[in-house]
A = this chain, B = another copy of it.
Amino acid sequence: MNISERRADFPILNTQMNGEPLTYLDNAATTQKPQAVIDAISQYYLHDNANVHRGVYSLAARATDQYEAVRDQVAAFIHAPQRESVFFTRSTTDSLNWVAQTYGEQNLQAGDEIVVTALEHHSNLVPWQQLAQRKQAQLKVIQLTSTGELDWASAQQQITDRTKIVAVAHCSNVLGVTCPIQKLARLAHQHGAIIVVDGAQAVAHQPVNVQTLDADFYAFSGHKLLGPTGVGVLYGKLALLQTLTPAQFGGEMISNVTWEHTEFAPIPQRFEAGTPNISGVIGLGAALTYIQQLGFAAIQTQERQLTAQLLNGLLTFPDVTVYGPQQVAQHGPVVAFNVDGIHPHDVATGLDLAGVAVRAGHHCAQPLMQVLQVPTTVRASVQFYNSAADIARFLAALQAVKEFFQQ
């Protein structure tokens, strides 16, 4: 990969922050967008803007065609067996809540169990916790090993014949670990449960095949995948989707409405109530095209190098604790750490003054913080468009911040 050409595709990477070159290492929160995505949104509004699925006129047909083409593109991207099993939401959070509100609401009984893991983001924990409370079901948690990976013995213990739903992140947004979805899916299915996969941190970093994973539902967000905010995806197995009553009603999700009764449109329109985020979907299409042109082989080579530099760099500081696996081989592009005696907020502010954007906080995973026995951590996360120079700047700034506070 020609990294300087790639960086030129992302104009914000060439700006300054606090008088220093912007070193953006909060990619796990949201990625930056290539010019191609920004342009796709502008071009849509400059040339093709109309409401979709509604108009007879040419402009509306153009908008609808572009919108529906992205559905095909998403289906191909995650290897969904058919386009109908993919629909657009607002975000990963919206997608996961949708599954809880439809599948969960329509299938759970008192006494049933929902199993999550100890590393879940609030968006894949709180919807299930609240569903469990509403249904008098039990929420159970698969524990982690000391290196932050899923404890398989715990998985086998927690998933039982009472389990109806296993909800798990494909990749952690804190520990940089990947969960064994295929194995978990087999275990869940053996017990008659479905598996709901939170793919927010996976889709930008590895090829995803929902059929090989055997995921029943797979959720992700456009904005973590070079795409715009306000658009998410939910994939569901068609046979499951066909059993579900929609969560929202109105607009073009109907096939016939009388005062007394509504017949719903076929899937997937049935699940897209109201005017969708048309420009967001078109922007997501441009993001997928960009990623497909680069190819995951090139992306993964670059991200592995960056992760190695980042992780090994951090591990050279004797007073830095890295959470999760300590070996690059097991480590995704997200690294959480703390510096002895310096509060994560102070670290992040110090780095910010050096133009380095990292996150400090609980990363929407408060229960995981309790497992790690820390109130919060610092987190640096890379994307293929980061450079070796970015990581070097980060490590140098961290050294300076340490010296300042430890003076």
**A residues touching B (Cβ–Cβ < 8 Å)?**
11-12, 15, 17-18, 22, 24, 26, 29-30, 32-33, 37-38, 41-42, 45-47, 49-51, 54-60, 90-94, 96-97, 121-127, 129-130, 139, 141, 221, 223, 228-231, 247-252, 254, 256-262, 273-280, 345, 348-349, 351-352, 356-361, 364, 366-367, 370
The contact sample of 26 A-B pairs, CB cut-off 8 A, is: A26-B51, A29-B54, A30-B50, A32-B49, A41-B42, A55-B359, A56-B348, A90-B90, A90-B230, A90-B277, A91-B276, A94-B248, A96-B250, A97-B250, A122-B249, A123-B273, A126-B249, A126-B254, A130-B249, A221-B274, A229-B276, A254-B366, A256-B366, A258-B366, A259-B367, A280-B280
> How far is B32's CA from A60's CA once the two chains are assembled, in angstroms?
12
Given contacts A93-B248, A229-B276, A273-B93, is CB(A126)–CB(B59) below 8 Å?
Answer: no
Chain B hits for A30, CB < 8 A: 49-51, 275
> How far is B60's CA from A18's CA once the two chains are assembled, in angstroms?
13
Partner pick for A93 among B24, B51, B130, B274, CB 8 A cutoff? B274
Taken together, the copies of this chain in the complex come to: 2
Chain B hits for A92, CB < 8 A: 274
State the Cβ distance, A382 to closest chain B Cβ, in Å: 16
State the Cβ distance, A26 to closest chain B Cβ, in Å: 6
Q: Which of A54, A247, A358 has the most CB of B within 10 A?
A: A54
State the Cβ distance, A263 to closest chain B Cβ, in Å: 10
State the Cβ distance, A287 to closest chain B Cβ, in Å: 11
Q: Besides the contacts A54-B361, A90-B277, A122-B249, what 13 more A-B pairs have beta carbons closer than 8 Å?
A: A26-B50, A26-B51, A41-B42, A50-B357, A55-B357, A90-B90, A94-B248, A96-B250, A97-B273, A126-B262, A223-B275, A252-B364, A277-B277
Chain B hits for A15, CB < 8 A: 47
> How far is B55's CA from A51's CA once the two chains are assembled, in angstroms?
35
> How far is B260's CA from A333's CA once the two chains are assembled, in angstroms?
30
Q: Which of A139, A228, A229 has the most CB of B within 10 A?
A: A229
> How far is B11's CA from A68's CA once the two chains are assembled, in angstroms?
24
